[in-house]
Amino acid sequence: MDLSACIPRDKHDTDAVQRAAAAIRAEPRKIAPVLPELLEWLQDANWPVAKPLAACLRNAGPELLPPLRRILNGKDGPWKYWVIELLAAQLPPDLLAGVRPDLARLARAPTTNDRIEEVHLAARAVLAAASA
């Protein structure tokens, strides 16, 4: 499969999301090269592709962790917020463990921008739910 077909062309391209989900179901490791581009579509939960894409990305395996951690350690507060809300909150325990230190840092020592975007609150909620 041509992995570029899995990347939405626009915010309404749910067919690409279905192709990404099928690729992840078939062989999660093969989607790794396009994970950073797929994660870009989680920048706004109002985009029609965001929620279904997050639902399939949670099954992408450990290859998801490096690009996800880059976002959580980046400067884009809104993107961090939506990645936490849409994806981190739904990760299986083994993958959540891989971002737990980043979430703990965001919860404990948010930047000014992270506070404005309520990233710290989203991180705290995910950590609390994981501890329950």
The whole domain housing 60 covers 3-131
pLDDT value at position 93?
Answer: 96
pLDDT exceeds 80 at position 63: yes
Output the domain CATH number for residue 85. Answer: 1.25.40.750
pLDDT exceeds 80 at position 1: no
Q: Measured between alpha carbons, how far is 5 from 56 in angstroms, rounded to an integer?
A: 15
pLDDT tens digits for 7-61?
Answer: 999 999 999 999 999 999 999 999 999 999 999 999 999 999 999 999 999 999 9
pLDDT tens digits for 45-57?
Answer: 999 999 999 999 9
Q: What band does 132 get if pLDDT is binned at 50, 70 and 90? A: confident
Instruction: Please tell me the total count of domains within the chain.
Output: 1
Average pLDDT for residues 100-110, to the nearest whole number?
98
pLDDT tens digits for 74-96?
Answer: 999 999 999 999 999 999 999 99
pLDDT value at position 99?
Answer: 98
pTM, full prediction: 0.95
